[in-house]
Amino acid sequence: MPNPAALELAALTKRYGSTTAVDAIDLKIAAGTYCCLLGPSGCGKSSTLRMIAGHEAASEGDIILGSQNVTDLAPARRGTAMMFQSYALFPHLSVLDNVAFALKMRGVDKKTRRAKAGELLDLVAMTPYAGRLPAQLSGGQQQRVALARALITEPQILLLDEPLSALDPFLRIKMRAELKRLQRELGISFIHVTHGQEEAMALADLVVLMNGGRIEQMGSPREVFNAPRTEFVARFIGGHNVIATDTAKIAIRADKLQLVPGSAMDGARGGIAATVTDVEYQGTFVQVSARTAAGEDLIAHVGEAVFDARPLQVSESVTALWDAAQSHTLS
């Protein structure tokens, strides 16, 4: 594989008519980084990925890969490769020939390209299936073939457009681990588009959370989860309560919120009266939902032993308590 390269997006913009899909974003991704572009549908993450790949023209701004400005280069000349959500395998070609196809288009002789394709199939543990057609493979196997096909051009950056969305939950977790292993072994950057918070948290070195065509927040998964800057980030990442106080809105992690029966205010902690609306057993904890008189919904993750010592019931009056030091002011 080639040496990994850093990627920089400078004031990158994409407009579709009067609609701005990506609004002058600036982003630097160090070489060898697993980066997840995260956000809801329509936030601009897929348009950003397609501009990096060269499948969409940038309206303004620059895409710099290593020391080269690749903004106006054709996709094949950028040093990137893209794995599509649909996998887009050729149904009439064997697994081996699917993987070798890009080298065939470059004029590489049959023996050489098949040998290289064999190496890539070995990397993704698909060698026994080399002679099969895509229709004879499971979804997870097709994904492995698509990965090998993308990697055969030896890209400096691999681009992945929601690669796990078509898989069932169990296989999604398994393939998540495979993607991370491959990225570590290859040493190149993976840029992975997803709308799944759990997926981004599990995979990424760098999470880039987008909203309305802009970058709302970026950082390591722990930084983004533990210190959300805005209400949007706190709500989208999940696991947080957003509570309006007299001076600001604050975020409090669900595992840091206590729900105490009755009225239990004290001077050292914040507190708000609420009514339990739902109780769900989640295995390692019990998720208790409550609603304040103002209509704010709260969630507390209560340890199983703590809940069993004093179970809470739907319609029970409680006080939500938190340590001020564990709350986070939102901008």
**pLDDT at position 61:** 98
Residue 20 · residue 14 · CB < 8 Å: yes
Question: Cβ contacts of residue 297 below 8 Å, gap of 6+?
Answer: 277, 289, 290, 291
Query: What predicted TM-score, i.e. pTM, was given to this entire model?
Result: 0.88
**pLDDT at position 267:** 46
**pLDDT at position 268:** 46
Closest CA to 102 of 156, 49, 158, 151: 151
Question: Given strand 317-323, what is the order of strands in its sheet?
Answer: 258-261, 317-323, 269-281, 285-292, 297-303
Kindly report, residue by residue over 285-304, the tens digit of the pLDDT. 999 999 999 899 999 999 99
| Helix ranges, 152-293 (H) | 169-186, 197-203, 221-226, 231-237
Residue numbers in the chain where pLDDT is lower than 50: 267-268
User: 65: which 2 tokens?
Assistant: 């890969």
Q: What domains can be seen in the chain, in order of their start residue?
A: 7-226 (3.40.50.300), 241-329 (2.40.50.100)
Burial per residue of 25-47, b for 16 or more beta-carbon CB atoms within 10 angstroms, e otherwise? bebebebbbbbbbbbeeebbbbb
Residue 143 · residue 85 · CB < 8 Å: no
Pairwise CA distance, residues 33 & 189, whole Å: 5
